[in-house]
A and B are shown apart, each in its own frame.
Chain A
Amino acid sequence: MESVKLPDKLCLKNTRLIDPVQNLDQTGDLVIENGKISAVNAGCSGARVWDMNGAIVCPGFFDIHVHLREPGFEDAETIRSGQEAAGGGGFTAVACMPNTMPALDHAGVVRWVSEEAAKFPVAVHPIAAITKQRAGEELTEMVELHKAGAVAFSDDGGYVENSDLMRRALEYSLLTNAPIITHAEDFKLTGSGVMHEGAVSTRLGLAGIPRLSEDIATVRDLMLAEYTGGRLHLAHVSTEGALRALEDAVKRGAKVTAEVTPHHLLLTDKAVQGYSTYTKMKPPLREESDTKALIAGLKNRSFAAIATDHAPHTSDLKEVPFDEAAFGIIGLETAVGLIWDKLVMTEQITASYMVNLFCAGPREIVNLPVPAIKVGEAVELTVFHPDEKWTVDTAEFYSKSNNSPYAGWELTGRPWGILKGSLWAGRIQPGF
């Protein structure tokens, strides 16, 4: 995918403009001039016009949890291919996890990621490791990393097992005000588990990962956050128990936020029947009682963000027996369609709230400025069509990997692309 230069003065006509921060949700038009919004609902005179045919235009979406695999695992994804997947999926920015090779644990590699990412209009905000080489032994130089561009710290994929070290991380990171993002998993309780432990794992004969593995690890980190006053963000909450613990900690005043993924909202362990390795990820797909609780948590604002945990893997790691397959699925190119189709169209959440969960919610967690639909604002916009029907075809993905459990799903609501400054990037380009 190449980005396209916009006309000097462009009017997006016949759109639905949504910006929850501005309390805006109405059909209208938007004029863009030299990378800035110059008019909202003031007609198109003098501008080149793109008829948007009813597409939604809203402040740019941000995915706070993706794996771009570069440096180190470029067969699965590169910064560029991940950016293209983000742009095609309607995201103007992503935060990338540090489990690369080498890990994002020193300022040089963090800066390098930012430089690589500058070649394409999707912003990439690196998340640096909490511990050197993600080994769980020594803290990284958080202050320097933060200055180099790291927006948060995480040993995602691994859990900081040493409780004392995690305490120090939560304390020390206060120097930066960047949150510690925890992948809450007690690896002893996970053991050799490859899917959620329950009736389905028993039937399939696959070793189970109990909810306890996540619940206990979550509770420890919440207690540490509460005690230290540190900023904690829970990655990919998948259990009712972890959600309850989060809600209790928030009530007591802990500085904690959390994200939930589309797959933990929409899929259960029943999807694993048939042993598709595209249903294997951590935390694992849970049961209906969990998805119900998570959706309720989404409605009552316990989650600040929906994040994809986009985790590309080559077929060499996925077209193998379930036990041997790598954990993780991709999500950048399906998240918007899934949430629109399964949660907004079913009236479980509003369009405006969905925009919030993809835009302001995740940015506030990592202290990033929130784009807006306002005269004078820099252009950072997501475009998706709420009525367009499409079938998920992994062969069409911009991602280098195709490990998506949604292949063949028929969805209504399709991301078209993004507008960033004076550039367009996306799959379905209006106006040409």
Chain B
Amino acid sequence: MKFRVKAKLADADGMRRTLTRLAHEIIERNKGLQNLVLVGMQTRGIHIAGRLKKLINEIEGGDVPSGVLDVTLYRDDFRLKFKQPQVQVTSINFDIDEKNIILVDDVMYTGRTVRAALDALMDLGRAARIQLVVLVDRGHRELPLKPDFVGKNVPTSIGEEVRVRMEESDGEDAILLVEREDLDEEDQADGV
């Protein structure tokens, strides 16, 4: 598969500013850190959750617990897509009952990943409330879901994708709008 970068939607500074704003919004809307926990979704959601945690702790002074969620086992396309699932670690070392969960992902698209994440969280316990924060919302929803906090709204066409690159996994912070030059099935299996 080939991609062509169409536009750089944010650089490191831009991303830092967006995350800082999101951290403030989360604190503001939740009126503090009472029962607040962050759950990052594999893989880049974890890094974003990590950044938010640091920012929130700095701003509010405290220590927000955080965990890692892998939704592979809950995906509705498990038996339909064309490659074996890469099951990654789920690690939530606290009881989520009665917690106020901030679920963190990088890009929201069809909503199917979020649906899987919600089911996964239900299996882990009964949270008091679940809110969703995404760095980018690129539209094209297939389920009636809406994020509570959005870093950037980026209208896209189907042939486009939003790529979030992060220092922790990619060596740089950036949000890129890319366009597919050829479509193949295996590649489609990747995007949810």
A–B touch (CB < 8 A): the answer is no
Interface residues of A, Cβ cutoff 8 Å to B:
none
